[in-house]
Structure 1
Amino acid sequence: MIEITAELECPLMNSEFNGRPGQAAQSEAAFWRSLEELFPLFEREGIALNPEAHPDDFREENTAAVGLVRAIDKPWVNYLYRAPHTFHLPGADPTADIAAMTRYAGDKPHHAHIADTFDHKGSPGLRYILNPPGTPARIRRHPDIGQGEIDWAAFFDTLRELKFDGVATACVFAWDERARDSSAFMPERISKELPAS
Structure 2
Amino acid sequence: MIEITADLECPLMNSEFNGRPERSAEGEAAFWRSLEALLPVFERESIALNLEAHPDDFCEENTPAVDLVRAVNRPWVNYPVLRPAPVGGGSDGGHRAMMRYAGDKLQHVHIADMFHHKGSSGLRYILSPPGTPARIHQHLDIGQGEVDWAAFFDSLRELKFDGVATACVFAWEERARESSAFMLERITKELAA
Confirm or deny: 8 A CA contact 1:98 1:151 kept in the other structure.
no
Answering whether residue 140 of structure 2 is matched by residue 143 of structure 1, we say yes
State the SS of the aligned residue for 2:13.
strand
Could you tell me which runs of 5 or more consecutive residues in structure 1 were left unpaired when the two chains were aligned. Answer: none
Give the aligned partner of residue 102 of structure 2. 105
Answering whether residue 151 of structure 2 is matched by residue 180 of structure 1, we say no
The letter for the 2-side match of 1:24 is S
- In 2, the alpha carbon distance for the partners of 1:113 and 1:58 equals 20
- In 2, the alpha carbon distance for the partners of 1:66 and 1:152 equals 23
The letter for the 2-side match of 1:139 is I
State the SS of the aligned residue for 2:64.
helix
Aligned pairs for 1:112-127 (under 5 A) are 112-127=109-124
Q: TM-score, normalised by structure 1?
A: 0.94
- In 2, the alpha carbon distance for the partners of 1:161 and 1:95 equals 17
Give the aligned partner of residue 34 of structure 1. 34
- In 1, the alpha carbon distance for the partners of 2:11 and 2:92 equals 35
Confirm or deny: 8 A CA contact 2:88 2:95 kept in the other structure.
no
Give the aligned partner of residue 4 of structure 1. 4
- After TM superposition, the runs of 4+ consecutive aligned structure 1 residues lying more than 3 A away are none
State the SS of the aligned residue for 2:15.
strand
Aligned residue pairs: how many?
A: 193
State the SS of the aligned residue for 1:106.
helix
Identity percentage of aligned residues: 74
- In 2, the alpha carbon distance for the partners of 1:94 and 1:103 equals 16
- In 2, the alpha carbon distance for the partners of 1:15 and 1:132 equals 31
- In 1, the alpha carbon distance for the partners of 2:45 and 2:95 equals 34
Q: TM-score, normalised by structure 2?
A: 0.96
- In 2, the alpha carbon distance for the partners of 1:106 and 1:137 equals 30
Confirm or deny: 8 A CA contact 2:113 2:139 kept in the other structure.
yes
Over the aligned positions, Cα root-mean-square deviation in angstroms equals 1.4
Once the 2 structures are TM-superposed, how far is the Cα of residue 160 of structure 1 from its aligned partner? 1.1
Give the aligned partner of residue 157 of structure 2. 160
The letter for the 1-side match of 2:39 is F
Give the aligned partner of residue 60 of structure 1. 60
